[in-house]
Amino acid sequence: MEDLRHCEILKTNISVTNMQDTISYINAHIEELRGKYICVSNVHTTVMSYENERYREIQNGAAMALPDGAPLSSYSRKKGFKDARRVTGPDLMLELFRVSEKRGYRHFFYGATQQTLDSMKRVIERDYSDMQIAGMYSPPFRKLTKEEDEMIVNLINESKPDFIWVGLGAPKQEEWMYEHQDRLNGVMIGVGAGFDYLAGYIKRAPMWMQKISMEWFYRLLQDPSRLWKRYFTTNVKFIRFTRREDKGNKQEDGQ
């Protein structure tokens, strides 16, 4: 496969792309991408990668680490990649659903609760009636046994999916994809809360908030008790870490 451009942000290689180029790349390389995984990265996962070497290895081992978080694409543009744009997990899902109706791609969904999967299925059948659902599976909220894991691998592979959407949340979904690379026959894409968005349990921010990089705030308003500490802590760390790295790079350039 051709090499993709990336911008190193806090030691994580974030893809320099946009939605159109991402879809075109996946379409052109669907066969080579089978068994590999794509991360949908944001400030939270990038800060985790900076602080955790193993998780950073997982992020950098992905076929693509897409800039879901607006600060990542903004930082890439600041570093000279003028065409870097945000590629969100929920938007990527819908774009690939549209493409699939024409190309015949099959999709498997792994993660979330059965209730969420059932709601997603109804939405897909209503809005993307020609898209093929290869299967859906809600894993138990505990560590799987070796036998259970093997059963799930066989279940997914027997359904012959082109895409395997993984909605386990970070960092669990990235760890799962990393551990299952080359064991599954489809392209794995970790989309975090993408399942809840599709099912209608979480609402997307208005477009004007998305454009000014405030979607995280809209998301915070919907689930403040769970997200306030994560957003506050990781956003502050991201600003502090990137400023420190920028300062260090300037000092090196001046030597």
Is 214's pLDDT higher than 60?
yes
Token readout for 242 is 């990137």
Q: Quote the mean pLDDT of the chain.
A: 92
Write down the pLDDT at residue 199.
94
In the predicted model, what is the mean pLDDT of residues 50-64?
A: 98
State how far the alpha carbon of 229 is from the alpha carbons of 56, 89, 235, in Å. 22, 22, 10
**200 vs 203, which has greater pLDDT?**
200
Write down the pLDDT at residue 187.
98
Distance CA 127, CA 224 (A): 31
Tens digits of per-residue pLDDT, 91-114?
999 999 999 989 999 999 999 999
Whether 69 contacts 42, CB under 8 Å: yes
**3-state SS class at 230:** helix
Write down the pLDDT at residue 155.
98
Measured from the Cβ of residue 243, the count of other Cβ atoms closer than 10 Å reads: 10
Tens digits of per-residue pLDDT, 161-189?
999 999 999 999 999 999 999 999 999 99
Distance CA 205, CA 131 (A): 26
pTM: 0.92
Token readout for 245 is 């790295």
Q: Is the dihedral of CA 11, 5, 82, 96 positive or negative?
A: negative
Write down the pLDDT at residue 71.
92
Is 123's pLDDT higher than 90?
yes
Residue corresponding to tokens 């502050």:
236
Reference 188, options 153, 213, 216, 212; nearest CA is 153
Distance CA 93, CA 165 (A): 9
Write down the pLDDT at residue 254.
57
Distance CA 45, CA 121 (A): 28
Strand-strand pairing, 6-9 and 12-15: antiparallel
Beta bridge partners of 9: 12
> What's the length of the chain?
255
Q: Is the dihedral of CA 158, 161, 166, 167 positive or negative?
A: negative
Beta bridge partners of 67: 41
Token readout for 53 is 């070497």
Token readout for 100 is 């699939």
Write down the pLDDT at residue 253.
61
In the predicted model, what is the mean pLDDT of residues 58-71?
A: 96
Residue corresponding to tokens 């903004």:
74
Write down the pLDDT at residue 252.
62
Residue corresponding to tokens 């950098």:
60
Reported as a pLDDT band with limits 50, 70 and 90, residue 65 is very high
In the predicted model, what is the mean pLDDT of residues 185-211?
A: 88
